[in-house]
Amino acid sequence: MNENIRKKIVFIALGLAIIWGYYNISDKKSDNEIVRQNNQEQVLSGSKTTTIPEKLIDVEACQKLAWGRNPFQEPSKLTPKTISHQTYWLLSGIVYSENNPMAIINNKSLFIGEIIDDARIVNISKKNVTLDYKGKKITLTVAKG
């Protein structure tokens, strides 16, 4: 493509962009101008009723929604949410040796006698791990995958 053709394409694209911008931006009134115009019409007609433009947001309704809280509110003034804590253990792997077996539970390397989430590791075998949690024996098995 030679220089003259490139210049003509750029010139035509620039002209189209200016025309598009003129028709799409200049004809639209802002929301404030529309509200101002509606209020002036009401004053001139003597109407005492107030109309609310469709684009206004009901703040109280939005605050009731989960995503509608004030992002500028200080964290100390926020009400804490209670989260139910459910204990679970995910056995990812076992590194077994006769002298010092190790289990990987919840992405932590643990040995016999160590505690994870209030559960003590009682036994580590080649295929499973036994935990003592509040007096109950729980057996974890490595998931195949």
| pLDDT reported for residue 121 | 94
Start-end of H helices in the chain: 3-25, 31-45, 59-64
Distance (Å, rounded) from C-alpha 35 to C-alpha 56? 10
For residues 33 and 15, the model is more confident at: 15
Domain ranges across the chain? 1-79, 91-141
- HSE (CB half, 13 Å, CA atoms) of 71? 1
- pTM passes above 0.75: no
pLDDT digits (tens, 9 = 90+) for 55-71: 667 777 766 766 656 66
Side-chain half-sphere of 63: how many Cα atoms within 13 Å? 8
Q: What is the pLDDT of residue 23?
A: 75
